[in-house]
Amino acid sequence: MADGRSVLVHDDVGAYEPTTGQAVLDFSVDRLESDVVRLLHFEHDDRARAYEHYLEGCRYDENERTFEQAEKAYKKALTLDPTLSNALTNLGNLEYRRGELEKAERYYRSALECDPEQPEALYNLGFLHFERDELDDAIRLFGEALGSDPSFADAHFNLAMALEEREETAAARPHWQQYLTLEPDGAWADIAAKHLERGPRR
């Protein structure tokens, strides 16, 4: 065969120059295309199956009696797609409910390594800081969660709570209002409304 400049020998192993025996890389478009299609097919198939396991975990993680089944499903999902950040976040939620706060934090941080803007992981990590009275970190993380998802009602509520802890009532006020706009009948609507009734102190 000729490559436009010289004659090459091509056999079942590959192509090489007949005088030197030097192998020549085969950049055949047809072969490359088939390799890419095959790779994409496998990746798509793995990710699809990973998401199915993730959804299975979601069905189990609302009931404490089926936490272990949920955990297994999320971990199966991650063996197929280690970057499935929602599965990591939900594993963190399971550990939080078990009282394993350090494990929960590790999962949230792993989720953020995969997706630095995932609002749920940012919010949950912020909530851990809030519970430890680490207000600066909590406020920063709640704010980042809202930067990713401005309609995250619970993040508005807890950001307002954290700001109130620092007596920054004026800064908290728009977040109380936004929580009520998003969740007028939410579990904490009465609390938000009472804070707004007091009016800003600063």
DSSP secondary structure of 33-89 = HHHHHHHHHHHHHHHHHHHHHHHHHHHHTTSGGGHHHHHHHHHHHHHH-TT-HHHHH
Predicted local distance difference test score (pLDDT) of residue 116: 97
Q: How far is CA 10 from CA 1, 35, 104, in A?
A: 7, 20, 57
CA 92 – CA 56 distance, rounded (Å): 16
CATH number of 117-202: 1.25.40.10
Residue 200 burial (C-beta neighbours within 10 Å; 0-12, 13-18, 19+)? exposed
* pLDDT in single tens digits along all 202 residues of the chain: 554 455 555 555 555 455 555 554 443 444 444 444 444 444 568 889 999 999 999 999 889 999 999 999 999 999 999 999 999 999 999 999 999 999 999 999 999 999 999 999 999 999 999 999 999 999 999 999 999 999 999 999 999 999 999 999 999 999 999 999 999 998 999 999 999 998 655 4
Predicted local distance difference test score (pLDDT) of residue 26: 44
Determine contact, residues 115/121, Cβ cutoff 8 Å: yes
Could you tell me the two tokens for 173? Answer: 């006020």
User: How many other β-carbons are positioned within 10 Å of the β-carbon of residue 187?
Assistant: 9
Predicted local distance difference test score (pLDDT) of residue 34: 46
Sheet containing 9-10, strands listed edge to edge, beginning at the edge strand earlier in sequence: 9-10, 15-16, 23-24
Phi-psi group of 22: left, alpha or beta (phi > 0 → left; psi -120 to 50 → alpha; rest → beta): beta
Predicted local distance difference test score (pLDDT) of residue 52: 94
What are the extents of the domains in the chain? 117-202
DSSP 8: -
Q: Is 132 helix (H, G, I), strand (E, B) or coil?
A: coil
Could you tell me the two tokens for 30? Answer: 């047809």
